[in-house]
Structure 1
Amino acid sequence: MADYSPPDEHKGTRARRGNKSGKVADFRYKKPSRAPTERSRPPVGPLHGVGPSANGRSDPARTGTTRPQARSRQAYAALDLGTNNCRLLIAKPEGENFTVIDAFSRVVRLGEGLAHTGRLSDKAMDRALAALKVCADKLRRRNVYLARSVATEACRRAENGADFIDRVQRETGILLDIISAQEEARLAVLGCHILLEQGPGPAVIFDIGGGSTELVLIEPGGPVPRILDWQSVPFGVVSLTDTVGSEEGERDDRLARYARMRSLVFESFAPFAERIASYIESHDSIRLLGTSGTVTTLASLHLELPHYDRNAVDGLILKSEAMRDVNLRLSGMSMAERAALPCIGEDRAAMVVAGCAILDSILDIWPAERLGVADRGIREGILRSLMAADVKGQNSGARQNPASGA
């Protein structure tokens, strides 16, 4: 789901052919003691994410039998193969949180051309496989105990998505699970909701991906917020760019293209916008939190960072109008001008405008005065669900078999 995320500088089952996905387990962890702001943000701490081992499974002999004191020495992993990015996190539990011990991110553009052909191209699959082979090597070297690997919109939509999943298993040993859009949204919420600005009333968490965008209306409270409504639309930075076509002409032409992007996205959001309108009318304060490479990149530009700094961006809360100003600036630039900007570069120059259009449309339907920024999401949600499920299994095993010493 996440699109072209900046490079990570912070270190410290058989694939389904359908869209059925398992439930996400709760993982209880502390919230920031105060709402983060542009000048005051909680430390990143040991918060990151995880996926499946090289063979996609944990060792059955060890599952549910690990002593609690030994659990902190186990490595868990989360792998997210999106429409644009392949990303991996490997982490170890640390109290109620976890510490990342290895990470990998590479732009693979798996969904390139998918909007026109309905298929994953050979070049795109080769790029993704090359990245997945790096991931498989890391999973083996880190001796991952429990992991999960997921694939999202590109594999959901492509005619040859399931065939590609089979090829990945044959060539890398990784078993990718094609998750539903609903599961994708739930994992993103689980992974980043801790950064939501505190306050009364409902909130929207969104994830602008490469092939789709997920919007989730939540009711905060408890260890995990309650999902009131959600929607996934088939427009992410890659799919929207492909649908509208490459940019040509001068500034006026670029602005007209941007207007077409906004119109397409706003129309796709219309059903969700209609359903959530009553929440806007009945509350004085509404909150918004975004997780994706789009919002982290735009926040970096707002802060005028010379290079991407996760510590400066993750947990940032800024005025929505500031992000709209950045969007307007980028939408009129040429690709060469955008590529010259820090934190964008050539890899992201072609796609970032689509992300701007999607964000503007989200602000149109959920006009929050402030926007929270999260450099965490699906992978973190996977990690938390894996660790929580493992703890639950261990506790259950200990009750059933006291002699195990767990």
Structure 2
Amino acid sequence: MLIARPQGTEFEVVDAFSKPVHLGAGLAEYGTLAPAAIKRTLGALRICSKKLRQHGVKHSRLVATEACRRATNGTSFVNLVRRETGLDLEIIDPAEEARLAVVSCAPHLGEDAEQLLIVDIGGGSTELVWLDLSGVSARNRAKALVELDLTKRGGGTCTRTARVMDWKSVPLGVATLKDMFHDVEDDCAKFALMSCCFEEQIDEFVPPEIGDGANCQIIGTSGTVTTVAASHLGLSRYERCKVDGVSMCRQEIDQVVQKYLNIGPEGRRKAPCIGTDRHELIMSGAAILQAILRVWPSSRLTVADRGLREGLLYSQMSAAGVLGDRPH
């Protein structure tokens, strides 16, 4: 949760709250949200509800994503949340989730990027959005992302509009991919299987005419990407100001992932930049990340410690006319 007020071309965070609840735990196997996961999530949402009341928030948008989309009891869960906390959750579709991921990354768009791939690795799904910005002037490119309409693909170019070349919502995220291979005991074998499985899902999501990817930028937004970046930087504890916006080449990412494999599950649990909340999911996320980098023609990844929350804020403030032209 993020509570913020507009401030020029950005926003000022008034309060923030985040707690891992693993709502989709067991979803791949049973098709429903588990009682324990629902209980954990309700506990976190009660805290959110209290903070919203304390700050007198007047405009809000509260969303649920892949876990609620897929679960047979997803709608029942949303109704339960409304009764128990007073919060009105909206189950958004994959297109809206992907759009918000793009909007959140606008501040990290490079001025020379003509082709852009946004990667958002979630718990239950992974969103991939490929944009052509070659027809948008450099000064208007960030604004073009904020105003993006994913329902319009291809077409002609103009100075204000990003062309949506393709987008895909892969129904595999860090939790669902991990659950698929829960019975594989060997750590390295499990990682290889997860990465190959995800690559099969995106084998057709490859740009045919980008060439060597010199003007292609990949921006990654997720706990996986930020954790890998923190490990690459050698941080003893996570520091958002050092991670957000950092760039890594493919070799640097591969080195971090290999280190994760070398230290094994117990080493990952004790690693300060991974921690007990994320150690069970980091390898499925890394498998997804490496699969994407194998098929996409770009040698570097820009890390964004941003996601749906920031995308929601940018989108709402832009629509209300209270946000400047270029987030930064």
* TM-score using structure 2 length: 0.88
1:224 to 139, 144, 153: 144
Residue of structure 2 equivalent to 1:375? 305
2:170 to 225, 228, 233: 233
* Unaligned ranges ≥5, structure 1: 1-87, 393-406
Q: Distance in 2 between matches of 1:337 and 1:182?
A: 37
Cα 1:336–1:246 change in 2 (3 A) is farther
1:265 to 198, 201, 205: 198
1:306 correspondence with 2:236: yes
2:7 to 94, 103, 106: 94
Q: Distance in 2 between matches of 1:218 and 1:379?
A: 21
Q: Displacement of 1:317 after TM fit?
A: 1.1
Residue of structure 2 equivalent to 1:180? 93
Q: Displacement of 1:356 after TM fit?
A: 0.6
2:54 to 134, 141, 156: 141
2:80 to 142, 164, 167: 167
1:330 to 260, 282, 287: 260
Q: Distance in 2 between matches of 1:94 and 1:200?
A: 27
Q: Distance in 1 between matches of 2:268 and 2:306?
A: 24
Residue of structure 2 equivalent to 1:281? 211
1:242 correspondence with 2:179: yes
Cα 1:334–1:247 change in 2 (3 A) is farther
SS at match of 2:61: strand
1:341 to 252, 268, 271: 271
- Tell me which of the two structures has the higher relative contact order, counting C-alpha pairs closer than 8 angstroms and 6 or more residues apart: 1
Whichever residue aligns with residue 388 of structure 1, its letter is S
Structure showing greater radius of gyration is 1
Q: Distance in 2 between matches of 1:197 and 1:286?
A: 10
Instruction: State the Cα RMSD in Å.
Output: 1.4
CA contact (8 A) 1:118 1:158 kept: yes
SS at match of 2:315: helix
Q: Displacement of 1:325 after TM fit?
A: 1.2
Residue of structure 2 equivalent to 1:403? none
Q: Displacement of 1:197 after TM fit?
A: 2.8
Whichever residue aligns with residue 317 of structure 1, its letter is S
CA contact (8 A) 1:110 1:124 kept: yes
Kindly, what percent of the aligned residue pairs are identical? 45
* Unaligned ranges ≥5, structure 2: 146-161, 323-328
CA contact (8 A) 1:338 1:344 kept: yes
1:255 correspondence with 2:196: no
SS at match of 1:318: strand
- 1:2-401 matched pairs, under 5 angstroms: 88-220=1-133, 221=136, 222=140, 223-225=143-145, 226=162, 227-245=164-182, 248=185, 253-273=186-206, 276=207, 278-281=208-211, 284-391=214-321
- In terms of mean alpha carbon deviation, does 239-248 or 120-129 score higher? 239-248
Q: Distance in 2 between matches of 1:177 and 1:195?
A: 28
CA contact (8 A) 2:126 2:171 kept: yes
Q: Distance in 1 between matches of 2:99 and 2:5?
A: 22
Whichever residue aligns with residue 309 of structure 2, its letter is R
Q: Distance in 2 between matches of 1:390 and 1:286?
A: 32
CA contact (8 A) 2:211 2:297 kept: no
SS at match of 2:33: coil
Q: Distance in 2 between matches of 1:265 and 1:129?
A: 31
* TM-score using structure 1 length: 0.71
4+ residue stretches of structure 1 with deviation over 6 A? none
Q: Displacement of 1:385 after TM fit?
A: 1.6
Whichever residue aligns with residue 188 of structure 2, its letter is L
CA contact (8 A) 2:122 2:174 kept: yes
Q: Distance in 2 between matches of 1:367 and 1:327?
A: 20
- Provide the aligned length of Structure 1 versus Structure 2: 298
Q: Displacement of 1:369 after TM fit?
A: 1.4
Whichever residue aligns with residue 103 of structure 2, its letter is L
